[in-house]
Structure 1
Amino acid sequence: MTQPIRWLQDEIADRMLQKLDIVKLDVKDILIVPDFAGKHLEMLAKRFPKARTLSITEAGVSGFQMWRAKAVSNWRSLFASNSSPLAGYTSSGRFDIPDNSVDLVFSNLLLQDLADPKHFIQECWRVLREGGLITFSYLGPDTGKELRSLDVPELKLKNLLSPWDMHDMGDALLGERFSDPVMDMEYLTLDYEKSELLLDDVAALNLMDSDPLAISQLSVLPQKLTLEVVYGHAWALGKRLAKARDNIAYIDPNQIGRKTRSDSA
């Protein structure tokens, strides 16, 4: 994502939090990935005013921008927060935080740009505490469907790195031991008066490789763009259980308590 699409990130973050209105969750530490200097920080601060925020910041966001955004949204937790760049995660495959260290992972419009969403889910499982929650949104495979049938050689479209629909994601969550996944999807249609504006958003959404300024056949472009937005959340429960095999969960014998009986006098 880039700055021209910041309004969309804020809008989807607002919808994500609305979907959590019915969820009861005691949050001390939140991991935001990707974090950006938008309104979502203010929304999260209002919902969880005492929580510490840990940030995996998106590309192009400076440390000063994040410091300023957090100072405006929740100055009380500013100095209890830390951040690391998203590039660090994409290169190492790990968040720079310990195991079992957060109660909520909040991920807005990231998964469609990851080559391996399953690995992301595994990493979220690692950092979530028992009873923690992962909540996320991402662009589904129908995003930009109006552009797929166009015959414009200069329009070099590219597929989403992970074109998972909500059923794929729900299955992946269950496969990685998350409990009670809730998935839903909606279509958002963006209307444009100028093709140049449509192309700017297509580029910001990472849907094409070409330079918008180099496309001459603007008259054949549609005046709208469809976004398939997938939402989901799931719980990290039973973290002390070994991963199930053949639908059977195996427990470490050291985790089984022994009940003793004292002799009566």
Structure 2
Amino acid sequence: MTQPIKWLQDEIADRMLQKLDIVKLDVKDVLIVPDFPGKHLNTFAKRYPRARLTSLADESVSGFAMWRAKAISHWRSLFGSRTSSLANYLTSGRFDVPDNSVDLVFSDLLLQDLADPKQFLQECWRVLREGGLIAFSYLGPDTGKELRPLAIPELKLRNLSSPWDMHDMGDALLSERFSDPVMDMEYLTLDYENSSLLLADISALNLRDSTPIKASEMNVLPQKLTLEVVYGHAWVIGKHLAKAKDSVAYIDLNQIGRKTR
């Protein structure tokens, strides 16, 4: 997600937090991926005043800007937060976070840009503690549907890296052993006064290559853009119970106890 569309990331983060209003969770450590200096930091500071925040910031956000935003949100962030690069995760496929170390993973508009969201879910499972929660949002496959019928050679539309709809994601959560997944979806319509603004946003959303479009073809561009926004959350329950592989259950020896009288 590039800088011109950060306002959308901020809006969706706010909607995600509203959906979490009814969720009761004892939060000591939060992983925010990707993170940015948005309004959500104030909400985290008020809702979880003693929580430590770990950020994976994208390349457009400097470490100092992230530190400053957290410090302004809450003084404890001066001492209890940590920021690393989202690029490191995208390269390695692994969070720079220990196993079983966070209570909440909060991911805003990232999954649509990942070729393998299942690998992301596996990493979230690894770092979440027993009883932890993953909460996420991403752009679904109907995003930008107005652009597909257009016959403009220079437009060069891209498909989302992950075309999963909410049902695909729900199935993936269950297959990765998450419990009680809750999925939701809404359509947002963005209206535009001119085509230049539309092109800037679809580029920021990674829906097109940056090839210039002829002025004569700008008139056929739509004046609106549909976003399919998918929301979800799921719990980590029974993390240390038996693991199933190839229809065989494996139990850690530490889980076997002797009954005493």
- TMscore range, shorter length: over 0.9
Write the mapping of 1:130-209 to structure 2, written as runs, cut at 5 A.
130-209=130-209
Question: Hey, what does 1:60 align to over in structure 2?
Answer: 60
Could you tell me whether the CA contact under 8 Å between 2:140 and 2:229 is conserved in 1?
A: yes
**Which whole-Å CA distance do the structure 1 matches of 2:103 and 2:235 have between them?**
10
Question: Hey, what does 1:113 align to over in structure 2?
Answer: 113
Residue identity over aligned pairs, in percent, reads: 78
**Which whole-Å CA distance do the structure 2 matches of 1:115 and 1:41 have between them?**
28
Counterpart residue type for residue 204 of structure 1? A
Q: What are the Cα deviations for residues 45-77 of structure 1, in whole angstroms up to 9, with x where unaligned?
A: 222111000011112111111011111111212
**Which whole-Å CA distance do the structure 2 matches of 1:42 and 1:93 have between them?**
29
**Structure 1 residue 215 displacement after superposition:** 4.1
Question: Hey, what does 1:50 align to over in structure 2?
Answer: 50
Question: Hey, what does 1:100 align to over in structure 2?
Answer: 100
Counterpart residue type for residue 122 of structure 1? Q
Instruction: Give the unaligned 5+ runs of structure 1.
Output: none
Question: Hey, what does 2:244 align to over in structure 1?
Answer: 244
Number of matched pairs: 260
Instruction: Give the unaligned 5+ runs of structure 2.
Output: none
Segments of 4+ moved more than 3 angstroms: 245-250
Could you tell me whether the CA contact under 8 Å between 1:241 and 1:249 is conserved in 2?
A: no
Could you tell me whether the CA contact under 8 Å between 1:157 and 1:210 is conserved in 2?
A: no
Q: Cα 1:215–1:103, aligned 2, differ >3 Å: closer, same or farther?
A: farther
* TM-score, length-scaled by structure 2: 0.96
Question: Hey, what does 1:226 align to over in structure 2?
Answer: 226
**Which whole-Å CA distance do the structure 2 matches of 1:183 and 1:78 have between them?**
35
- Tell me if 1:82 matches 2:82: yes
Q: Cα 1:65–1:253, aligned 2, differ >3 Å: closer, same or farther?
A: same
Could you tell me whether the CA contact under 8 Å between 2:67 and 2:83 is conserved in 1?
A: no
Q: Cα 1:184–1:246, aligned 2, differ >3 Å: closer, same or farther?
A: farther
- Tell me if 1:8 matches 2:8: yes
**Structure 1 residue 250 displacement after superposition:** 3.9
**Which whole-Å CA distance do the structure 1 matches of 2:26 and 2:149 have between them?**
47
Q: Secondary structure at the match of 1:181?
A: strand
Counterpart residue type for residue 133 of structure 1? L
Could you tell me whether the CA contact under 8 Å between 2:183 and 2:232 is conserved in 1?
A: yes
Question: Hey, what does 1:18 align to over in structure 2?
Answer: 18
Q: What are the Cα deviations for residues 13-58 of structure 1, in whole angstroms up to 9, with x where unaligned?
A: 0110111111100000000000111112112222211100001111
Q: Secondary structure at the match of 1:133?
A: strand
Q: Cα 1:242–1:259, aligned 2, differ >3 Å: closer, same or farther?
A: closer
Q: Secondary structure at the match of 2:243?
A: coil
* TM-score, length-scaled by structure 1: 0.94
Could you tell me whether the CA contact under 8 Å between 1:173 and 1:181 is conserved in 2?
A: yes
